[in-house]
């Protein structure tokens, strides 16, 4: 089975590239990085990833939660949130099902577990 | 009419006397001429004699004389034979009777005249007394008294001069003199008293001037006193002399004691009236002065109240509004006249709905103090703008009125705190802005550290050497332990202090994920509550824990060994903290001085402990226990209580 395709949405390029390289090393297909919610929607439509790795704080009007909701509604693609420890956003995240998140800075072990769960649920 | 009647009577009298005289003459002639004998029947002669003497008094005696002479004449002429002594005797009798009757009649007339005069005087006194009870104006009283004395013709003229304490004439009044009194008035006002006046001031009795024409040559009223005399008396009541009164009357009456005592009575009555008027005036003046001072006081109070920028309600003990000042009218856009006298509770019920932002809470608070007889302290209320009413923040207070007219009532103050409130809001906003900024800075710092961590991660992807890879991993962990501090700061309420327990939980979670192979067999026990550190302490402290826990994870549990890592932080004395990191693992290798190792981790721990002015000890008796004591070098907080020295925190 081919490894899943993942879209990374993260406004810090270096952090995003780090995650991209790490995931690629593990065999995942990470074709693109989006830096804003709007860009994420566009790229999700173009690339049809299996799962989106979504930062919550983004540049532009849309935040990660809004972007994830739209992507799920339009394309049925689940998102894994990358969040800090005590983000109050966790409460808002609760409204999203399925809720998947990893604590930032992202540990690769945690991340792969989350991706596997996301793919299974989907 | 009366004169006419008198004239007619006079004619009748003359006619009657003439007839009687004619009869008497005829009788004499008849006896002397025709009878020649006997004595003249003279009894009838007495009728005209008595009547004439009665009617015309002394003048009437002429009738008696006439008849006497006629009898003697007739006797001499007509009776030649006899000259009787009888007729001489009779003639003498006529004259005697005539004179006696005339004198008697004169006396009766004088008594009658005097009685009539006294009656007039009494009548005048009565009128004066009546006037006294009614008249409250001094000048009108004096003029009225003079008028009364002359109107009944008791006196020909009367005048009164009022004197002050210095015996200077204040005012004069007269009656029966008119223009002729002017020179007298001027003289009196010029400071000169008449002789009779001067004399009267020195005695209680009436001064009688019987013959002004010869004794009072300088008196300006001299011409008015022809045929009359004067009575002058001081007006005195209870030792106080108010002035002098003078009246003119017939010289005949002057010596009469009754006359004098009546005049004295009038003077006493007038003086008494003057005394009463003076009392009343004094009373009135006192009252006016009191009223004036009250008005002054009242207007002063009103001015003070009105000039105050504090809105003021004054309530009586029944919560009726007694007064509101201008500031209050302005604050609530109400009119004083609409409010004063009204019930405050009712006003609150009817009016406040549109005035306050929270009318119900206002009413409840105020009514509670009314019902419980308590007072409001610093109750803030928000007045909403409407029409000419401005938006305001008012601080409401009330206090009891302890004494005076409204004792038992209360004063309610409304302080305008709008400016303070606005400044406060501004300050709060500014503080909020700074907080947001500070959070953003911490967020930025955390992000930058994550970027550095990611750079190290990217760099390490090309490394195959396990030892080097581990070094990169450890560096990443150190950076993350610092980044975590910033994250904790910007997500917490308190931007200055970090909840160390929450931090250590996150930190150890991170570490154990990194060394994920240990996650299932190494237990983390964190025994810290209630300690908050500042950022300057928290970062080195976090790094120390990071190193010691990393050390334990790497070395304490080889060969699938299970165990527990315990981290605790407890305050020991007032300003010292004890941090212990222990594990139940294989123990720190014997013979190795942890202060002198070549490993970077332990070097960092030693340096950071020194930086925080602490001491570190190692106990190898059971696993490994590092105990670090920070004495006064650490500022920490427990449930809002500050500890430690702030002077050392900037190190």
* Domains in chain B: boundaries: 2-114, 135-283, 308-416, 419-476, 496-643
Instruction: Using the predicted structure, report yes or no on whether residue B527 has a pLDDT greater than 80.
Output: yes
pLDDT band at A43 (very low <50, low <70, confident <90, very high): very high
Nearest CA in chain A to B516: A109
Q: Which CATH superfamily hosts domain B308-416?
A: PAS domain (3.30.450.20)
Fold of B496-643: Heat Shock Protein 90 (3.30.565)
Q: Which of residues 502-541 of B touch A (CB under 8 A)?
A: 502, 506, 509-510, 513-514, 516
Q: How many CB pairs under 8 A join A and B?
A: 55
Nearest CA in chain A to B507: A85
User: What's the pLDDT at B176?
Assistant: 86
> Quick check: B510 and A104 CB within 8 A?
no
Look at the alpha carbons of A5, A11, A13, A18 in this order and tell me if their dihedral is positive or negative. negative
Q: Identify the CATH assignment for B135-283 out of 3.40.50.1100, 3.30.450.40, 3.40.50.300, 3.40.50.720.
A: 3.30.450.40
B582 beta partners: B566, B625
B53-80 average pLDDT score:
82
Q: Which residues of B555-580 are buried (b: 16+ CB within 10 A; e: fewer)?
A: bbbeeeeebbbbbbbebeeebbbbbb
- CATH topology identical between B308-416 and B496-643: no
Instruction: Using the predicted structure, report yes or no on whether residue B394 has a pLDDT greater than 70.
Output: yes
* Separation CA B162–CA B139 (nearest Å): 10
> For the segment B578-630, what is each residue's pLDDT rounded down to a tens digit?
999 998 888 888 778 888 777 888 889 988 888 888 889 988 888 889 999 98
A103-117 average pLDDT score:
81
Q: Which CATH class is domain A5-121?
A: alpha beta
* Separation CA B29–CA B138 (nearest Å): 75
User: For all residues of chain B together, what is the average pLDDT?
Assistant: 85
User: What's the pLDDT at B644?
Assistant: 47
User: What's the pLDDT at A60?
Assistant: 79
User: What's the pLDDT at B62?
Assistant: 87
Instruction: Using the predicted structure, report yes or no on whether residue B487 has a pLDDT greater than 60.
Output: yes
User: What's the pLDDT at B409?
Assistant: 92
User: What's the pLDDT at A97?
Assistant: 59
User: What's the pLDDT at B648?
Assistant: 34
Among B443, B450, B458, the residue with its CB nearest the CB of A105 is B450
pLDDT band at B397 (very low <50, low <70, confident <90, very high): very high
Across B27-31, B222-226, B457-461, B585-589, the highest mean pLDDT is recorded for B457-461
User: What's the pLDDT at B561?
Assistant: 85
Instruction: Give CA angle at B442 (B440, B448), nearest 5°.
Output: 100
Q: Tokens in use for B347?
A: 């006003």
% of chain B beyond a pLDDT of 70: 94
CA-wise closest residue to B206 among B262, B166, B167 = B262
User: What's the pLDDT at B38?
Assistant: 60
User: For all residues of chain A together, what is the average pLDDT?
Assistant: 82
Alpha-carbon distances, residue B332 vs B197, B386, B391 (angstroms)? 72, 10, 10
Given a contact cutoff of 8 angstroms between Cβ atoms, the answer to whether B522 and B565 are in contact is yes
* Residue ranges per structural domain of chain A: 5-121
> For the segment B169-183, what is each residue's pLDDT rounded down to a tens digit?
888 898 888 888 888
* Separation CA B538–CA A122 (nearest Å): 43
B406-421 average pLDDT score:
91
H-helix or E-strand spanning residue B136: none
Instruction: Using the predicted structure, report yes or no on whether residue A92 has a pLDDT greater than 90.
Output: no
Q: Are strands B157-163 and B169-175 parallel, antiparallel or unpaired?
A: antiparallel
Lowest-pLDDT range of A70-74, A83-87, B119-123: A83-87
Q: Does B464 touch chain A (CB under 8 A)?
A: no
Alpha-carbon distances, residue B150 vs B124, B159, B247 (angstroms)? 8, 10, 9
CA-wise closest residue to B40 among B20, B24, B17 = B24
Q: Are strands B522-527 and B497-499 parallel, antiparallel or unpaired?
A: unpaired
B211-233 average pLDDT score:
82
pLDDT band at B1 (very low <50, low <70, confident <90, very high): very low
Q: Which of residues 428-447 of B touch A (CB under 8 A)?
A: 443, 446-447
Q: Measured in whole angstroms, how far is the alpha carbon of residue B28 from the centre of its chain?
A: 106
> Quick check: B458 and A105 CB within 8 A?
no
User: What's the pLDDT at B649?
Assistant: 33
């Amino acid at each position: 089975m081919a490894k899943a395709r993942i879209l990374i949405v993260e406004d810090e390029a270096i952090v995003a590239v780090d995650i991209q390289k790490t995931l690629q090393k593990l065999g995942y297909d990470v074709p693109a990085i989006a830096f804003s919610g709007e860009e994420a929607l566009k790229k999700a439509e173009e690339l049809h990833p299996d799962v989106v790795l979504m930062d919550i704080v983004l540049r532009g009007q849309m935040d990660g939660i809004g972007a994830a909701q739209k992507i799920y509604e339009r394309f049925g693609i689940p998102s894994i949130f990358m969040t800090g420890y005590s983000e109050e956003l966790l409460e808002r995240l609760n409204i999203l099902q399925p809720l998947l998140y990893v604590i930032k800075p992202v540990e690769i072990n945690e991340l792969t577990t989350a991706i596997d769960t996301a793919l299974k649920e989907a | 009419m009366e004169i006419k009647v008198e004239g007619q009577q006079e004619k009748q009298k003359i006619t009657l006397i003439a007839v009687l005289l004619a009869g008497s003459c005829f009788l004499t002639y008849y006896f002397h001429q025709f009878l020649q004998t006997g004595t003249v029947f003279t009894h009838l002669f007495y009728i005209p004699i008595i009547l004439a003497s009665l009617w015309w008094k002394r003048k009437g005696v002429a009738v008696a004389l006439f008849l006497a002479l006629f009898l003697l004449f007739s006797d001499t002429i007509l009776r030649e034979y006899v000259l009787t002594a009888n007729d001489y005797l009779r003639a003498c009798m006529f004259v005697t009777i005539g004179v006696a009757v005339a004198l008697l009649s004169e006396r009766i007339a004088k008594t009658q005249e005097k009685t009539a005069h006294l009656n007039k005087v009494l009548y005048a006194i009565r009128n004066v007394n009546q006037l006294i009870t009614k008249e409250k104006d001094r000048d009108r009283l004096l003029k009225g008294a003079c008028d009364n004395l002359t109107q009944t013709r008791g006196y020909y003229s009367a005048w009164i001069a009022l004197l002050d304490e210095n015996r200077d004439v204040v005012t004069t009044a007269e009656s029966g003199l008119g223009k002729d009194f002017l020179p007298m008035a001027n003289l009196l006002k010029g400071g000169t008293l008449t002789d009779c006046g001067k004399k009267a001031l020195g005695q209680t009795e009436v001064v009688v001037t019987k013959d002004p024409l010869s004794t009072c040559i300088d008196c300006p009223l001299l011409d008015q006193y022809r045929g009359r005399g004067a009575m002058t008396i001081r007006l005195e009541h209870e030792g106080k002399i108010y002035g002098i009164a003078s009246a003119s009357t017939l010289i005949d009456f002057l010596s009469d004691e009754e006359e004098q005592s009546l005049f004295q009575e009038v003077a006493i009555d007038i003086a008494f009236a003057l005394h009463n008027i003076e009392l009343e005036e004094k009373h009135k003046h006192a009252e006016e002065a009191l009223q004036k001072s009250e008005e002054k006081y009242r207007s002063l109070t009103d001015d003070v109240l009105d000039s105050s920028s504090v809105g003021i309600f004054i309530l009586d003990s029944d919560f009726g509004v007694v007064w509101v000042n201008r500031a209050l009218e302005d604050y609530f856009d109400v009119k004083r006249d609409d409010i004063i006298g009204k019930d405050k509770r009712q006003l609150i019920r009817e009016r406040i709905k549109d005035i306050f932002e929270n009318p119900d809470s206002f009413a409840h608070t105020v009514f509670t103090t009314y019902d419980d007889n308590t007072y409001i302290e610093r109750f803030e209320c928000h007045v909403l703008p409407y029409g000419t009413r401005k938006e305001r923040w008012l601080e409401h207070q009330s206090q009891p009125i302890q004494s005076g007219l409204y004792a038992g009532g209360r004063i309610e103050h409304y302080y305008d705190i709008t400016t303070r409130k606005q400044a406060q809001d501004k300050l709060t906003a500014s503080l909020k802005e700074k907080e947001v900024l500070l959070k953003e800075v911490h967020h930025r710092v955390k992000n930058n550290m994550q970027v550095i961590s990611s750079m190290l991660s990217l760099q390490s992807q090309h490394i195959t050497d396990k030892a080097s890879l581990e070094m990169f991993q450890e560096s990443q962990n150190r950076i993350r332990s610092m980044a975590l501090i910033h994250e904790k700061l910007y997500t917490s309420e308190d931007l200055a202090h970090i909840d160390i327990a929450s931090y250590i939980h996150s930190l150890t979670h991170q570490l154990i994920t990194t060394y994920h192979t240990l996650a299932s067999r190494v237990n983390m026990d964190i025994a810290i509550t209630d300690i908050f550190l500042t950022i300057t302490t928290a970062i080195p402290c976090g790094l120390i824990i990071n190193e010691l826990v990393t050390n334990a994870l790497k070395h304490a549990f080889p060969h699938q060994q299970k165990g527990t890592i315990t981290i605790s932080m407890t305050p020991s004395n007032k300003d010292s903290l004890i941090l212990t990191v222990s594990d139940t693992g294989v123990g720190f290798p014997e013979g190795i001085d942890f202060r002198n190792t070549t490993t970077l981790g332990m070097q960092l721990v030693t340096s950071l402990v020194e930086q925080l002015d602490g001491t570190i000890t190692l106990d190898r008796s059971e696993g490994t226990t590092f105990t670090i004591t920070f004495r006064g070098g650490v500022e920490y907080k427990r449930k809002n209580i500050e500890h430690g020295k702030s002077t050392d925190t900037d190190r």
